[in-house]
Structure 1
Amino acid sequence: MTKGDDSVRRKRNKANRKKLNNQNNTSSSVSARVAAIIASKKRRQSGKRRKCEGMCFSLPTPDDPFNDRHGKKDLETKITKKVSPIEMDELVFVKGKKSSICKQTHKTDAKVDDLDQKVDKLASLKNEKKSLESTNNGWKASQLDPRRTKTQLNGKGGIHVQQRQAFENLDCPSKYLIMCLNEIESALRDDCTITEEEKPLFASTWGIEFWKCYSAGKDILETSGSSSSIEKIAWIVCSAADTISRKDEEAVSCTSPFLLFLVPSKEKASKVRSVCKPLKVHGIHTVSIHPGASVDHQIQGLKNCEPEILISTPERLLELVSLKAIDISGVSLLVVDGLESQYKLGYLDTIKDIAQHTSGNAHHLVFNVSFRPACVPVVQNLLVGPLHRLSLNNSVASQSACISQSVKICNAKEEKLSKAFLVLDNAYGNPLGCHPSNVLFTVGKGGKFHKLVSALKSKGYSILTGSVCDYQEVGNREESGDSTRRAVSVIDIDQIGTTDFSKYDIVIILDFVLSIGNYLQILTRMARYTANGVLHSILTDEDAGIAGPLIEILEKCEQVVPEALRNMYVASSMMAP
């Protein structure tokens, strides 16, 4: 028989009075820990338990591995989405906010009836992926490993990155790098340093090209004709931050500092530091050193901090290194910004000394507006090994940076060959003990070509004619242990358009029967992987018609114009009708 409303009300009031009396009675009060235990017991008895207590009553199942539903059936099916390479690129390259990398477009509460549509969509994405694999657009989605990241959708439609693997051999920047770029971009937009009309940092063409060169692990020669801008600095520091984070995940300690950024002035140091500041939330600390503060203050500050990024002017940094206030022997990336300004301030010798204090395994990045002859030895000193040339400027001066142009004037045609052999002796060393240097001869067709090949063979050179190599002669010399073998490539003027000049450090134009366009083609395509390229041109009085355009090219590239070449041009101008 059910109780009346009055009876139920009296019983509830009695329970409330008892609870109130217990609260007012201090002698019967219990500790917070005991109260939590009692409350937990009551929740278990009433069936209203927490998620963390669900394991006490139900076991995980394949449909619910984390027991989020506590054994209850869910009418809505969770869909775990495997991120394909194409979708991963779409997720990465979306402008995000401070706390999220990107936004997911599909909803997590998809019905079971939508599964067929999801399958069709994934099938179409696979077809798009196969079509992209056939194109060579620099971002090869076919080589992107989908196991690189594991993603899980959260309730707000975002993505939580649970695992990242090394990406040295991949063709796409990691999500962590893009997240750092978005952090910097958001901070700069808040400070009105960049406007909303400017394109996002992750869409920078220069940044993408830099990341490819940086991932290859070689030195970089930046010849765009300008110093580092905000987008360039952002990509450099974010790439360094990504490397540091990967080393932390692999439990590899990074010697401090990781990145050393040499700048010519205090103002440029402040600009670089403003870009690096947003990365502090990720544990990337930046310290700026310049003549604006006292040496004692900077020494004390360096004792209390171990920065991952160090920004400094060369003179102040060398002073602190000499006082043993900081150790830069473990620097992994050395960036030299504004070499032209450093030259005007007299810092070139200081930069050389700083480079000697870094380890031999450090990678280098050199920025410069124009390469004067006085700056080239510094670049060659820093960039000793193989390098990548990075330039978005198609000008002759930019594409031919650090390539010396030598022009020799002969009185007779018979002197050309002797001058060419002097160039070869200097390239391979004299006597014949040589180092592997890539030398290319450009000569006219027909009898001149065969005459040059015969002369080179008589001097003991192994000849590479076009794309055909004298492998039999080379093999015989190698088997006999002849260390004096020297290889020279020879092409005629018809092969200029099909020859890969990027691997040749030294090119000798023996017969200047080609046009000035061919000369520019050779100049801008040769020595792509070294800072020691030399282009030799041997002229006679018959080549006076090419003197004027050649002088103009030398002046644009800030090269020394021989006095004999100017006299040839003046003489040809006076004889012209």
Structure 2
Amino acid sequence: MAKGDDAVRRKKNKVNRKRMRSSDSAVSARIASIIASKKRRKSGKRRTCEGMCFSLPTPEDPFNDRHDRKNKLDHKLKTKSNPKKNSAVQHIKDKENEKEKEQHTETPRPSAADEKFEDGCLPKFLTLCLNAIENSWKEKQDEDVEEEEVGNVSRKQHDLLASSSWGAELWRRCSSGWNVVDSSSGGGVCARKEQLAWLLSTASDIIARKEKQGLVIPTPFLIFLVPSRQRALQVRSLCKPLKALGIHTVSLHPGASIDHQIQGLKSCEPEFLVSTPDRLLELVQLKAIDVSSASLLVLDGLKSLVEFGFSDKVKLIKESISREPQMVVFSDFCKGTSKSLLQQLLNGPVCRLSLDDSAVCKSAFVSQHLHVCSSEDEKMSKASQILSQAFVDQNHPQHFKVLLVAGSASNVQLLASKLKAEGYGSSTEPLTDGLHMTNGEKVIIMSLKDMDSIVGLDVEEFEIVIFLECPSTEVYVAILKNMARYCIAGAVHCLFSKSDASLAQPLIKVLEQCDQAVPESLKSFDSS
């Protein structure tokens, strides 16, 4: 009696399963995917999903199979050697392209720097990386039986990964080549888990887009400097889910043997490198690793790096990179040595971000100065002194903006005439917004506003704000939180007089919360 097709198929499958079980080279599906991703990475190729989730179906193409037909035609053009057949296929392909152009008249897709998170235009590979990290958190949460409080924190982190304006802004700035300084920790030391998830996914997306363009990505692409061995292991654990997507990470720290790390670096080419500054510098000096082609340098916890004495090592690592790397810095409110180190390291456009909306975090790197003046003439002379000092300050760029806030419109006109009489506004540039002052090397663009016109004013581009009249606490805090977003540091000056005695105490509290120095003259002025 002849056997049916089902019986033959079952027997064949049984033989195949038996052969795979007896084979010594059989590996699990997870290990096979890791091996395959490593081979793709070494060959310079990475697969990108191009199914229905990549491009939405249309009424003309409901099954979204136009891309498959296009690939088949390309394959025929490459494999067929008959010129007549090739010309026929090319003719069919040209006709299909013409139909496709007629059916799709939408505008071209914007570049990565111009895409907006609100429109749902985040890249697919970025979303895959975020989902991989989020799934690893969920798996760990399922494995570890924790308290309800910890579960709530994890859910908040997942919600942040699913929809985060901070993360979208970080991705936009990094994709455009900007340096990013974040002050979200608010008294903490290093970046939060969700911030690292966005940063690592952003770096992975940049790598994927460059490889798709046919560019060769040097390794390591990202150097992540941490203050301690424990922090290096934490960051390394966050990077593990990205290995299945072709992103390999290596952590270097003093806790392991340096010979073991040298041997390990010879057998791999990691895209991400997580290390303490001292161990990385030691390996660079031994020529165990080449970091000269790194593109992205991340400082995790600037304040801690300075406190542990890594300032000089961080400078040497940056100097060992042949080109100017893009930088991302995570730090809480810092001043003094940390602030000067940041100003030495960062070159090019800068954007300051913060997850927290508090005045302490938003005003990081902005110095606050309160001056007590006995008369209006003394206020004018003090404002002139502040502007003169801005010209000689080497930290300010050649062009920067200053906002001068007077009490009323009449005071603004009086101030403008006095400044012009003192020689300001003599620049040959058109006076489109206030006064243009120059000393031959630098140009200061001064905007003169009264107290009423600054409500709702966009102050992100102003590096220096001078209040000739003491503002209310609400106005002061609003200006403080939003000013100087696109520079490393800013300054706000507030000039006091006896008529402002009622406003002194609230502003003193703001300065103390932001860890700013309160002048003794203002304290005695308030007590009287």
TM-score, normalised via structure 2 length: 0.70
Deviations 1:346-384 (A, max 9, x none): 333432333333355322111123324442222323333
Structure 1, unaligned stretches of length 5 or more?
A: 1-8, 13-76, 84-141, 149-165, 573-577
The one of 107, 111, 128 equivalent to 1:179 is 128
Asked whether 1:364 is paired with 2:324, we answer no
Matched residue type, 1:319 = E
Aligned to 2:313: 350
Tell me, in whole angstroms, the C-alpha distance in 1 between the residues paired with 2:490 and 2:451: 20
Distance 1:516 1:170, change over 3 A: closer
Distance 1:472 1:169, change over 3 A: closer
Distance 1:80 1:294, change over 3 A: same
Distance 1:552 1:437, change over 3 A: same
Of stretches 177-186 and 352-361 in structure 1, the one that deviates more from structure 2 is 352-361
Tell me, in whole angstroms, the C-alpha distance in 2 between the residues paired with 1:540 and 1:482: 34
Asked whether 1:510 is paired with 2:468, we answer yes
**What's the CA shift for 1:410?**
2.8
Deviations 1:201-229 (A, max 9, x none): 74041433322332332111212225323
Aligned to 1:267: 230
Distance 1:473 1:284, change over 3 A: closer
Asked whether 1:203 is paired with 2:152, we answer no
**What's the CA shift for 1:484?**
7.6
Matched residue type, 1:355 = K
Tell me, in whole angstroms, the C-alpha distance in 2 between the residues paired with 1:338 and 1:234: 16
- Preserved CA contact (<8 Å) 1:220 1:390: yes
The one of 532, 539, 564 equivalent to 2:521 is 564
- Preserved CA contact (<8 Å) 2:400 2:443: no
> What is the alpha-carbon root mean square deviation over aligned residues?
3.7
- Preserved CA contact (<8 Å) 1:463 1:488: no
Aligned to 1:305: 268
Tell me, in whole angstroms, the C-alpha distance in 1 between the residues paired with 2:491 and 2:485: 12
Tell me, in whole angstroms, the C-alpha distance in 1 between the residues paired with 2:336 and 2:355: 22
- Preserved CA contact (<8 Å) 2:303 2:338: yes
**What's the CA shift for 1:493?**
0.8
Distance 1:486 1:552, change over 3 A: closer
Of stretches 542-551 and 262-271 in structure 1, the one that deviates more from structure 2 is 542-551
The one of 422, 431, 436 equivalent to 1:470 is 431
* Residue aligned with 1:207, SS: helix
Deviations 1:318-347 (A, max 9, x none): 222233332222221111112233233233
The one of 190, 195, 200 equivalent to 2:139 is 190
Distance 1:558 1:78, change over 3 A: closer
Tell me, in whole angstroms, the C-alpha distance in 2 between the residues paired with 1:430 and 1:314: 31
Distance 1:296 1:456, change over 3 A: same
Aligned to 1:282: 245
The one of 508, 511, 526 equivalent to 1:551 is 508
Deviations 1:454-483 (A, max 9, x none): 11112232299xxxx7359989x99xx987
Matched residue type, 1:527 = A
Aligned to 1:224: 184
Aligned to 2:416: 453
Aligned to 2:175: 215
Tell me, in whole angstroms, the C-alpha distance in 2 between the residues paired with 1:456 and 1:437: 18
Tell me, in whole angstroms, the C-alpha distance in 2 between the residues paired with 1:348 and 1:473: 41
Tell me, in whole angstroms, the C-alpha distance in 2 between the residues paired with 1:452 and 1:187: 60
**What's the CA shift for 1:236?**
1.6
**What's the CA shift for 1:453?**
0.5
Of stretches 179-188 and 492-501 in structure 1, the one that deviates more from structure 2 is 179-188
Tell me, in whole angstroms, the C-alpha distance in 2 between the residues paired with 1:185 and 1:440: 44
Identity of aligned residues (%): 39
* Residue aligned with 1:310, SS: strand
Tell me, in whole angstroms, the C-alpha distance in 2 between the residues paired with 1:418 and 1:496: 23
Asked whether 1:245 is paired with 2:208, we answer yes
Deviations 1:402-425 (A, max 9, x none): 111122233443222112111111
* Residue aligned with 1:501, SS: coil
Asked whether 1:534 is paired with 2:491, we answer yes
Tell me, in whole angstroms, the C-alpha distance in 2 between the residues paired with 1:420 and 1:300: 61
Tell me, in whole angstroms, the C-alpha distance in 2 between the residues paired with 1:552 and 1:294: 50
Aligned to 1:24: none
Deviations 1:116-157 (A, max 9, x none): xxxxxxxxxxxxxxxxxxxxxxxxxx9783xx9xxxxxxxxx
Tell me, in whole angstroms, the C-alpha distance in 1 between the residues paired with 2:237 and 2:400: 44
Tell me, in whole angstroms, the C-alpha distance in 2 between the residues paired with 1:350 and 1:564: 41
> Which has the greater radius of gyration?
1
* Residue aligned with 1:564, SS: helix
Structure 2, unaligned stretches of length 5 or more?
A: 3-59, 67-105, 145-150
Aligned to 1:21: none
TM-score, normalised via structure 1 length: 0.64
Tell me, in whole angstroms, the C-alpha distance in 1 between the residues paired with 2:326 and 2:354: 18
Matched residue type, 1:219 = N
Which portions of structure 1, spanning 4 or more consecutive aligned residues, are displaced by more than 4 angstroms?
A: 193-198, 471-475, 481-486
The one of 327, 339, 354 equivalent to 2:302 is 339
Aligned to 2:63: 80
Asked whether 1:523 is paired with 2:480, we answer yes
Matched residue type, 2:136 = A
Deviations 1:166-197 (A, max 9, x none): 74443322212222223333334333379685
Matched residue type, 1:215 = S
Tell me, in whole angstroms, the C-alpha distance in 2 between the residues paired with 1:233 and 1:403: 25
- Preserved CA contact (<8 Å) 2:251 2:273: yes
**What's the CA shift for 1:286?**
0.8
Deviations 1:516-570 (A, max 9, x none): 2211121112111111211112223443332222221111111122222222223
Tell me, in whole angstroms, the C-alpha distance in 2 between the residues paired with 1:170 and 1:430: 37
Distance 1:355 1:560, change over 3 A: farther
Tell me, in whole angstroms, the C-alpha distance in 2 between the residues paired with 1:558 and 1:334: 29
**What's the CA shift for 1:391?**
1.7
Matched residue type, 2:205 = D
Tell me, in whole angstroms, the C-alpha distance in 2 between the residues paired with 1:405 and 1:184: 40
The one of 440, 445, 448 equivalent to 1:490 is 448
Q: How many residues align?
A: 415
Aligned to 2:10: none
- Preserved CA contact (<8 Å) 2:401 2:444: no
Matched residue type, 1:179 = L
Tell me, in whole angstroms, the C-alpha distance in 1 between the residues paired with 2:254 and 2:270: 19
**What's the CA shift for 1:503?**
1.0
- Preserved CA contact (<8 Å) 1:397 1:556: yes
* Residue aligned with 2:385, SS: helix
- Preserved CA contact (<8 Å) 1:302 1:325: yes
**What's the CA shift for 1:292?**
0.3
* Residue aligned with 1:176, SS: helix
Distance 1:376 1:300, change over 3 A: same
Tell me, in whole angstroms, the C-alpha distance in 1 between the residues paired with 2:346 and 2:338: 12
Distance 1:393 1:434, change over 3 A: closer
* Residue aligned with 2:460, SS: helix
Distance 1:452 1:210, change over 3 A: same
Deviations 1:261-289 (A, max 9, x none): 11121111111111212222333211101
The one of 115, 121, 136 equivalent to 1:170 is 115
Matched residue type, 1:557 = C
Q: Counterparts of 1:82-101 in structure 2 under 5 Å?
A: none
Higher RCO (CA < 8 A, seq sep 6+):
2
* Residue aligned with 1:364, SS: strand
